[in-house]
Each structure stands twice: as structure tokens, then as C-alpha cells.
Structure 1
Amino acid sequence: MKDFFKNGNKTSLLISPDGNYFSYRADYRGMMNIFVQKTSDTVAWRVTNDTVRSIRRYFWKGNRIVFSQDIGGDENYQLFSVNADGSDLKGLTVFPGINTNVIDALTEIPGKEKELLVGINKRVRECLDPYLLNVETGELKLLYTNKENYNTWVTDNQGVIRLASKPDGLDITWYYKNNEKDVFSPMITVSFDDQFTVGSFDKDNKNIYTLSNIGRDKVTLSEYDPLTKKEVKEIFSDNNYDLEKIFYDRKKKKLVSVSWTGEKNERHFFDKEWEKIQKGLDDKFKDYSIIIGGYDDARTKAIVVIYNDRTWPKFYFYNFKTKETTEAANPYPWCNEKQMSHTKPITYRAKDGLVIHGYLTLPVGVEAKRLPVVINPHGGPWTRDEWGINPEVQFLANRGYAVLQMDFRGSTGYGKKFYKAGFKQWGKKMQDDITDGVEWLKKEGIADAKRIAIYGGSYGGNAVLFGVTSTPDLYAAGVADVAASNMFTFIRSLAPEWGPYIKQFYEMVGDPNDPKDSVMLAEISPLFHVDKIKSPLFISCGANDPRVNRAESDQIVAALKKRGVAVEYMVKNDEGHGFSNQKNQFDFYEAMEKFLDKHVKNKK
């Protein structure tokens, strides 16, 4: 079990801006810390010493490394920086209970080599005020007196704030200013269920590149004129999927590519030079997905990441001039690709005819007939599953389970109609899509109908509880991680966190203050239907979870025990929304394996 979840030897590699160093994350006393090594040497040194919580996010800024850390999973991230040699470790935004986001790292902007643009919610919890932060001195400079309570900020190619947005009930309004000294004026108001996001400004800092589905079903890439407040032209679209991300090269001042998730990761190039680089790497590493993970300012060296559905990410150095690659790190050498399972994109139809996309992973060397199964709905729910390596899925397949993941209605990436089909359908049609996936597996002869479990985290955990209450005879067991059990207490606890967006949440899920919605929320709340539960359950949560309060787990565990339903319960006091630390992950997956073996795989 530990092989699937233990910390990697050398992962998350990045090149320093001057190209003289590379950095990575590796284990130190059970926690992931940051190490640095000269590109011309073999000796590395550790620059952080966190023994309480693993460091997950970091990047280079000048000759310093900037990283973020929260406290026990509370998701109030604080920024720190340290020199490449490990000296002068400095807390930059150490404000207890306050969150800091990086709005723009201001890379490749002359004169901004030591500065970041950050958003901090010190003034009002729901809004991020923009500050210029010096990563060497820690000096903070407020850039805008945010009396309007804007909470999204977009910069131009010089790092100047030119766009801001804020919600207004069920609408979101974007504001624009023509230059740094100008004042914001309304540019466009969109419904919350439409997408309008800004990728970057164009080379003239005039028009903007947007990802939008206004007036269409799929998210497309367009050019938009903020002065005339009109779309200039549609640049690119995909007939089947929403576009997700653009790559704009600030140094070249060119739109490079747009990417999206289909059955696998897809990309379309506009820049021939970058396309040639990508094609060369694709040809060299056939059967793998390739990402250029970062490069130095002079663009002599880059870090290339390769992976597929059976391979954990491996890292290579890339020479821009010679086009040669050399292996930099294999973080998980103990995971043999040939021993891992393939993950296959699949589709099936829901009861009402809607096509549901998903992924099926089967155990290696076993005939796909009457297998024990783990149904694994994703969290969110406004996200989607992706093809690639998934440690949980590989672990379960290695233990003999077939694993089905599905993008039920309401998942993102498949267009506006599919997304909106999930509104106010928690525990209803969204759950029916999951149930229909189970029936598809049974019809195909893959699943043993008596040995089917359901496991998920966050919304996936909700789906576990919805499943064992609405279809009590379908599942032999359920594992619900950080799941909500009472829609009323769950939604009310979210109100402070969602702030001005709470009306949108009500529209998507349900309003506990609305009589009609209240009836629906009561119908789907698992806590009110524990009398229907027959399957043994394993419940887990983090005590500091800011999204799904621990009380959601406490109350359903108490109710199950009162009824005499078999339930196991794991709470970690140093975790939030999901288990981050290695020891806690080991405890969880060891307990889950024993639970599934007892109630599913070895069930007579």
C-alpha cells in the first residue's frame, strides 16, 4: 500500500530564472520539503525544514524560492521566501486566519524581478485586496483601495491591473480601465452560469483573449475589445469539449496555445516555434503526455514532465538549442509501469439518454468478468475526471478491483447544457448517472452485483451517502471522505466562505430558506434517511476542514451507531479537506483496504 502513496524521492522540479539551479520537493522526516541543486553538480541541499505539514506549492522568483503553507489544512495560505542557498528564510504574509493568493507572479517583466502581485483578504474575508509584495524584504504596498469589494483581478503584459470583477446576486460584472491611472468602468455583465474568463491581453495591451461560452454551448477562445465591449472574433473552438486554458508568451508577446481535456489532454498551437518544440518531444516520448514545466529566462534550459495512465510523472532536462533531453528525476522508481493498469475512456447512456463519459480501470492479468468493483465519483462537483495516473485508482486495481469513474451531469468540460443539467440535482439525476454506471458494468458482465462498493471524497463522499440511502441494495459498502450528511447545516456553514457568491450556490444546489428547496434538500439529506442504510460505512474527515465541517461526519456516525449500522470512523486533528500528510494517508488507505476486503472483495 505504501508504495502507492509515499512521498516521492525527487518531484515538482523547477529551473531557476538564471538557469544555474534546479529545485525539487522530497521527503524530510515524513514531510515534503524543498531542495536545491546546481544544474552543473550532483550535490543538493535542503532549504526548508517543515516537520508539521508537507509543502505543496512553490516557485522561483529571482534568486529566491517562494512557497505557501497553511495551518493544519485551514486553507488560509501564508507566503514565505528563502534564498537559493537556504539562508534568510522569511515570512512574507504571516497573518493568522488570513489567506494570500498570488494574482500574478510578474514573470518576464523588466523591473519586477523581486516583486509579486498578491491578493490578501485582511480587510474583508470575501474579497482579495491587491498588494505589491517584495519577496526579499517582505514590504507590502496596497495597489488599489478596494471600496467596491472587487475580488478578481487581471493584469496586462506590464503587470498593471486593468480588469476586475465582482458578483452581484446571480450576475458577475467585469470592470475595465484603459491604463494604470484610469478609473474602472463596467465592461460586461454575465450570468453566473455563463463563463467569461480573461486569459491575457494581446501584444498591444489593448484587446483581451477570453474563454467564454456566452451565446454558445461550449467554451471557446475569442478576442474581445474592452473599449467597444464586443467580441472581435472567435479564434478557436472544439465541437465536443470546453476549452480550459491559454498559454500566452509574455517574452515573445504572442498567443502560443489553448488546451482542454477531452478523453485525454489536448492542445492547439498558434505559435510555430513552440509547436515544433512540442512535436519533437511528442515524437521522442511516444505513448506519454508531455508538459513543459518551466524554463529559465534566457530559454536555454527547461524542465519536461512525462506521464501516462500507468506512469507517475518523470522529469527531464531539455536543451532548447540542441533539443536533447536528459533524465533529471524519477520520483517513484518503485512503481513499475508494466505492473500498473491501463485506464480506458468509456461512455454509457443515462436513463434519459444523456451520454455520460468516464474511465474504467481493470486489474492486470484478470479476466474482466464478475469482478469486485469500486465506483469512484469525483469531488467538486463542478469539475471532471481526467485521464492519467491516479494513485488511488491504481492501488484499488492492484488489489483486484475494477474502478469506474464517471463525469455525471453537472461536471464541467462538456458544455453549458451538460453543466446546467446538474443544477439542483444533487442526490437526484446526478446520482442516477452514477447508478446507471453501475448498471452498465453489470450489463457488460464486468461487475459482480454482490461485490460493488462506492468510494469518494468531498462531493464524491456526498455521492457515497446519497447512494447508500437512495439505492440501499446496490452497494455492498461505502467509503465517504469529507462528506456532507445534512444539506441544511452544510449549506449554512458555507455561507461565510462563499460570501457574495452564496446566491449562486443556492441556485445550483438549493436554498435552505426557500420552502420548495427545503423539501428537496430534506429529501436528499442522508442524515434524515439513515433508516434506509443497509451497507457498512467507513467515514473519514479532517478536524480543521473549512469546506465540509467535521460536524457533518460526527452527526451521521452518531446516527448510524444509534441504529446499529456497522460504521468505522477516522478523524485526523491536523488535517482539513482531505488528508495531506503521508502518515495520515497511510492510516487511511490501510484502513480502507481492510474495510473493502472484509465487506466487498471477500464477501460470500
Structure 2
Amino acid sequence: MPFMSAKLRRGTVLAFNLVLALAAHAQDSAAPDVPAPRQATAALPALASFFDNSNFGGALLSPGGRYLAARHGAPGKRIMLAVVDLQTKAVKVVAGFSDADIGHMVWVNDERLAFDVTERDVAPGETYLGAGLYAVNRDGSSLRQLATRRGESFVSEGGTHIQKKILPWHTFLMNQTGAQDSEYLYVTSVDFDERGQKRNVSLLRLNTLTGQATSVLRPATVSGWMLDYQGRPRLAVGAEKGKTTLYYLDPAGDKWRSLASYDSYKGGRNAIMPLGFGPDGTLYVEARGGKDTLALYAFDYASGKIRPEPLVETRGYDFSGQLLGNRARLLGVRYETDAEGSTWFDPALQAMQDKIDKLLPSTINLVSVPSAPDAPWALVRSYSDRQPSVYTLYDIKAGTLDRVGAAHPEIDSRRMGRQEQVRYKARDGLEIPALLTRPAGAAKDAKLPLVMLVHGGPYVRGSTWGWNADSQFLASRGYAVLEPSFRGTTGFGAKHFTAGWKQWGLAMQDDIADGARWAVAQGLADPKRICIAGASYGGYATLMGLARDPDLYRCGVEWAGVTDIGLLYNGHWGIQSDVSDEWKQYGMPELIGDPVKDAAQLEATSPIRQAARIRQPLLLAYGGADQRVPMYHGRQFRDAVSATNKRVEWIEYGDEGHGWSLPAHRIDFWGRVEKFLDKNIGNQAADAPR
């Protein structure tokens, strides 16, 4: 891979995909990370290289650090679970099925793993099985099913199954490791109501050898749980009637007590978001501490407040990240600003990070260490704006790297575009962060066709610096891509977030248009060749952008988009949305608009009501199994806009949900987008430079 250092050892045995005959050995040789020479006859990067499923699903070091578990497959084959003994270099496939792919995986202890399964080639509309839950020893022995797959007692190759107690299908792995020192782990069991909405989450202590499980006493209606560093239940999160309450299981009296309560959607001065526990029992939380941005604080149990001084601040950004530690102590934190990074409190680990960064100078290198303090290896995930994730093992004593696997090995980083974090001023003076991706080799003074790519949510963090299939595909086809973090986007402080309340189709929309005009003013974009695109809320913004700024946007690409805020509230008599009643009652009226008090505003900012104003070419796509934005959003808007606009293209994937899960659909969709853009703002456009 071009970004790799030449110091990587050649012929590494840890490229065990050779041993498994799953894929060809990846090249270890290095090449400079520079744009490839432009050749008129060179074929464009293939669609499938961006949007096909990856055959490598990541890796995890065992708690002691001797073994490496990895999810791996081959083209046309199922994803299997393999374990490498890093001392003997022996490789063992420990689980693999002909009718399922290995999904999430965790180490229970150094000898045993737990995992669930998925079906990567089945769309949501055809899915009738749950994820199941299984455990297996690292040598492949003692494979046991622990939870059903919606009625399936076992995947077809599970072998003879002696009927024992098996948990129901709604049993799931946690995203926390637990103690990793026994055959037990904690799992959650979700209670759904008759509409399929999550009502309560129970916590179970599960023996992965016997299948026996015991429930943890809940303090109230619970939506989430947190374990401490010893792997014991210590925090429960309750969310009810618009309020979030944190409950703490005090080890002194072994009783639950309330730590904090705040508005679930608006937050507030007392809002704290628990991040995790340190080995000494300290609870670390994200909080504002009277400032605009979130920082990482330690929580004082005695006072019920955060300690005065933050542990980590990320200036200009809300702190968002995770704790890094082992069984003995807190070692550092991982955080996200314009990109991901790590702060190590341990000098030896900071020195190790510096060595790895010198070996891999062109990428961000995220280091994970096992829970054992004296583990001999660390796992590194490396990426850049042009390079998808690559996993390597770092030998701490030898100071060398071995390649493990890559997420998208077909991607040539030299042909990817550079991504830049930019900021521009909205018309009211608010600073808007954005990501700008330009095609590889594009001249600095080139006025390119521009795609305004709008993120969904909208009250989430948008794209961060790093390789992204959507933006890089568009850049590979010659487009500049601007991804604005308009007001209402989280991650940039309370002022930026609250400025977006009740601004759908208004100031939020202006922020996007102001970004396009900024790109024109900077000489980056051709003002006659700008298209707006996005999914979910981004789809809503696409439609409203076409209606509000017809002279700015030449065309629009909208998929899975909201077409009427009223439909979010009321839906359709024949189809139910998975938008929760809690969100409709307590969140939407405050952040989007009250259906009674703000009825006139919601009417004026409804794309369906503005459909007659949209005359530009428009590509619409929806999934028939989408429960977040059901198909009736798309069909009602299609019928309304088609009455006055004959340049509407309609795509319907009957078995897809809120986005495209199947590679065939992703490839088909983006192939259609490529042709649509080429015709309207690309080389085939009437006013394209010749």
C-alpha cells in the first residue's frame, strides 16, 4: 500500500489470509503518498472498490495480548472468525458458517470469544433472523449457541445441538469488554412494545460455557448500562418522559442511587454524559462545566458534581472519545476534533505512539493495547483522507510492524482526493466548519463542478477527516465535494447546536447555500455547475435547497429523505415509522417545531408544499423497508413534484431500509448518480468547459 513505510517486514506471516486461502497477500513495499500521474487513457477507479463489502472486518487482541482474533473472508465467501497465536504464528479458523457471516466479536477471556452473526447479502426487508449469540474457544472447541436467531435454534453448520436453555433473539452483546478474566460476560436483553419500539433494556450475567444467565436488578426503566473496569455493573441510564437520569450502584451499600437528571434532548447545565470508569473507580464524564464546549471531567460522587478542572479539553470542539487503559490504570484517551487522535498519560506509551507515527508518517495511527499491562503487542488502525483503514501489529520490544488486513485493499490512495478542513461565515456571522474534498491532481485554480453533500441527523456530528466512500467516489469522477457542518450539527459547542433549533428549512438551509457561495467566491467551484445531495435530513435539505435557491443549484440527488415534517409526526395510516413517541412528544417540538404552535412554519418549510417550485433535474431514491423515513415520504413527494417537473428520476429498492445495505444496491445507486451528475453538471452538461 502506498502509505506504508518501507520498514514493514517483508513476507510477514501475519498476513494470514494466505494461510486461509482467503485473499492474495497484500504488498508490503512502500511508495510515496503522492498523486498518481494523470493519464488520459487511465480508467476511473471502479465503483465496486468504493461500495462493495469489505472482506476484512477488523481485529482484536486478546486480554493478555498473545492472540489476535480477526474477521476475514474472500470475494463471494462468508466472513469467518480466525485466531492467530502470535508466538507460534499458528492460524486457526474457529467459526464460520455457510449461511451467515460473523458479526461483532469480543474476547471473554484469553481462551474464549463470543460473537454474533449477520447476513451481509440480505437486505433489511428480507431479514427475519436476529443476530444470535455464540461462544467458542480460541482453538475452535466448545462452540455453543447462547441466544436464538428469531426462532432458528442454530445456524445450519452448528452441529448437533442438545437442547439447553438458550436466551431469546433480543439478546445482544455490549460494546464494553467486561473483566475478561472468567467464562462470564454481560449481555443486554431488549424489551420491545407492540410497535417494535424499545421499552426497556435488561442486563444479564451470562456463563458462556453453560448458557446460564442471571438478571441484574434494575433501578428503574433503563435504556443503557455501563460496567466498571472490573467488569461489574456500575451505572444505569434511564430515559423517560423527556428526562435522562443516571443511576449509580454504590459499592459501599450495593444500592442504586441517582447521580444526575437532565433534559434528554436539550441537555442543560447539569447534563453529563458518562464516558467510562477508571481502574480506581473514578467515573469520567463529558460535561460543559459552564463553557460552550464539552470537556472530559472526573465526577465527584460526594458532591454529585464534576470536579472543577477538566482532564482533557479539545478547544473549538466538544470532547468526544473513549478512555484508554489496562487493568491497572488509566493510560490515556482517544478523542475526535477535525480528525481522531490520542493523548497518552503514560510516557512509555506516548513514546511508542511517536515511534509508530515515524514508521507510518502519512496516516493517523490509533493504537490499542490489551488489558494486561505487560502485553508484547499493540494493534494499530491507520487511515488518512486518502487511505481507508489498515490494521497492523506493533511488536513493542522489536519496534516493528506486521500487516494484518485492510478495509478496502482495492483503493489506490494515490488516486484519491485530498480533504481539507475549512471554515466559512454564514450570512449572520456564524462560523460554519466544513470538509472540502477535491479530485486528485486538480489544479489549484480550477473551478470545478461542486456537490454540496449534506449529512443526515441532523443533530449529530457530520463527517470527520478521513477516507469516505461517498465523497471520494464523487471526487474520483471530477467533482469537488463540500460537506458543511451547518448549525444544529453537534460537536462544535452549545452555541452551534442550539442555533439550529427550529431552523429546518431556514437558517440551517442558509448555512448550506452560504457554503456553496463561499466555494464560488474562493474560486473553487463553477457557479453554473453546483448540485446539492444528501440522505435522510440531508435529503430534506436537498429538496428545500432546490426550492429556496433555484438560481444556485443546478440539480439535486435525494435518497431516504424527509419530505414533510408533518409526516414525521403523523405518518401514514397503513405504515408505521420507528420514530419514537418519546422523541415526538419531547424532542421534536423543541428542536424541530411544535405541530400546533409552529404549524405555519412547518407548512412553509415542507418540501411537499414547495414541490411546484422545484424545476431542476432531480434524482429520488427510497427503500421499501425503511422504517425511519417510510416509502410514503418519497412517493407522495414524487407525485407532487412530477406534476410540474418532468425531469424527475425515481429509484425504488423494495427490500432496503434507511440507506443501502446491499453492495449491489450501493453500486447500482451510485452508478445512477454518476450518470445523473455527468449529464447535469459534469462533462456532458450543456455548459461544461470544452
Pick aligned residue for 1:253 from 329, 338, 344: 329
Pick aligned residue for 1:411 from 470, 489, 496: 489
Give me the whole-angstrom Cα distance separating, in 2, the residues matched to 1:31 and 1:396: 29
Pick aligned residue for 1:290 from 365, 378, 381: 365
Structure 1's 106 and 556: CA in aligned 2 closer, same or farther, altered over 3 A?
same
Pick aligned residue for 1:118 from 185, 188, 201: 188
Pick aligned residue for 1:59 from 106, 112, 136: 106
Q: Say yes or no: does 1:92 pair with 2:147.
A: yes
SS at match of 1:127: strand
Structure 1's 434 and 10: CA in aligned 2 closer, same or farther, altered over 3 A?
same
Residue 14 of structure 1 corresponds to: 60
Give me the whole-angstrom Cα distance separating, in 2, the residues matched to 1:8 and 1:106: 25
What is the alpha-carbon root mean square deviation over aligned residues?
2.9
Give me the whole-angstrom Cα distance separating, in 1, the residues matched to 2:55 and 2:685: 38
SS at match of 1:528: coil
CA shift at 1:416, angstroms?
0.8
Paired letter, 2:258: P
SS at match of 2:361: coil
Paired letter, 1:403: V
The aligned runs of 1:432-581 (5 Å cut-off) are 432-493=510-571, 497-502=579-584, 503-512=586-595, 515-581=596-662
CA shift at 1:66, angstroms?
0.7
Q: Is the contact made by 1:311 and 1:337 (CA closer than 8 Å) also made in structure 2?
A: yes
Unaligned runs of 5+ in 2: 1-46, 152-167
Structure 1's 43 and 257: CA in aligned 2 closer, same or farther, altered over 3 A?
closer
Give me the whole-angstrom Cα distance separating, in 2, the residues matched to 1:7 and 1:304: 22
The structure that has the greater radius of gyration is: 2
Q: Is the contact made by 1:68 and 1:79 (CA closer than 8 Å) also made in structure 2?
A: yes
CA shift at 1:375, angstroms?
0.8
Residue 364 of structure 1 corresponds to: 440
Give me the whole-angstrom Cα distance separating, in 2, the residues matched to 1:210 and 1:180: 21
SS at match of 2:239: strand
Give me the whole-angstrom Cα distance separating, in 2, the residues matched to 1:473 and 1:50: 54
Structure 1's 36 and 534: CA in aligned 2 closer, same or farther, altered over 3 A?
farther
Paired letter, 1:306: S
Residue 214 of structure 2 corresponds to: 141
Structure 1's 362 and 106: CA in aligned 2 closer, same or farther, altered over 3 A?
closer
CA shift at 1:95, angstroms?
4.4
The aligned runs of 1:66-465 (5 Å cut-off) are 66-69=115-118, 72-73=123-124, 78-83=131-136, 84=138, 88=143, 90=145, 92-95=147-150, 99-103=170-174, 105-111=176-182, 113-122=183-192, 125-145=198-218, 148-179=220-251, 182-192=254-264, 193-194=266-267, 195-205=271-281, 207-234=282-309, 235-254=311-330, 256-293=331-368, 295=370, 297=372, 299-367=375-443, 368-381=445-458, 382-465=460-543
CA offsets, 1:299-324, max 9 Å, x none? 22332111111111112111233232
CA shift at 1:65, angstroms?
4.0
Give me the whole-angstrom Cα distance separating, in 2, the residues matched to 1:34 and 1:426: 45
Q: Say yes or no: does 1:603 pair with 2:650.
A: no
- If each structure's helix is expressed as a fraction of its own residues, which one has the higher value? 1
Greater shift in the superposed pair: 98-107 or 526-535: 98-107
Structure 1's 244 and 498: CA in aligned 2 closer, same or farther, altered over 3 A?
same
Give me the whole-angstrom Cα distance separating, in 1, the residues matched to 2:540 and 2:640: 16
CA offsets, 1:49-93, max 9 Å, x none? 3667x6654333342341354874379963422535667363625
Paired letter, 2:50: F
Paired letter, 1:48: G
Paired letter, 1:597: D
CA offsets, 1:437-456, max 9 Å, x none? 00011112221222111111
CA shift at 1:545, angstroms?
2.0
SS at match of 1:541: strand
Paired letter, 2:145: K
Return the TM-score normalized by structure 2: 0.80
Give me the whole-angstrom Cα distance separating, in 1, the residues matched to 2:665 and 2:213: 36
CA shift at 1:33, angstroms?
5.2
Greater shift in the superposed pair: 185-194 or 468-477: 185-194
CA shift at 1:252, angstroms?
1.7
Paired letter, 2:602: L
CA shift at 1:114, angstroms?
3.4
Paired letter, 2:178: T
SS at match of 2:71: strand
CA shift at 1:204, angstroms?
3.4
Structure 1's 519 and 65: CA in aligned 2 closer, same or farther, altered over 3 A?
same
Unaligned runs of 5+ in 1: none
Q: Is the contact made by 1:100 and 1:121 (CA closer than 8 Å) also made in structure 2?
A: no
Paired letter, 1:567: V
Return the TM-score normalized by structure 1: 0.90
Give me the whole-angstrom Cα distance separating, in 1, the residues matched to 2:171 and 2:474: 36
CA offsets, 1:311-344, max 9 Å, x none? 1111211123323211222443332221211101
Give me the whole-angstrom Cα distance separating, in 1, the residues matched to 2:451 and 2:130: 34
Greater shift in the superposed pair: 343-352 or 490-499: 490-499
Paired letter, 1:110: D
Q: Is the contact made by 1:120 and 1:131 (CA closer than 8 Å) also made in structure 2?
A: no
CA offsets, 1:513-567, max 9 Å, x none? xx23222211111111110111222122222223221221222122233334322
SS at match of 1:551: helix
Q: Is the contact made by 2:292 and 2:495 (CA closer than 8 Å) also made in structure 1?
A: yes
Post-superposition, which runs of at least 4 consecutive aligned residues in structure 1 deviate over 6 A? none
Report how many residues are paired: 597
Structure 1's 108 and 185: CA in aligned 2 closer, same or farther, altered over 3 A?
closer
Give me the whole-angstrom Cα distance separating, in 1, the residues matched to 2:70 and 2:563: 42
Q: Say yes or no: does 1:591 pair with 2:672.
A: yes
Structure 1's 461 and 451: CA in aligned 2 closer, same or farther, altered over 3 A?
same
Give me the whole-angstrom Cα distance separating, in 2, the residues matched to 1:422 and 1:588: 31
Q: Is the contact made by 2:57 and 2:71 (CA closer than 8 Å) also made in structure 1?
A: yes
Give me the whole-angstrom Cα distance separating, in 2, the residues matched to 1:565 and 1:180: 70
Paired letter, 1:343: Q
SS at match of 2:582: helix
CA shift at 1:216, angstroms?
2.1
Give me the whole-angstrom Cα distance separating, in 2, the residues matched to 1:379 and 1:175: 31
Paired letter, 2:536: S
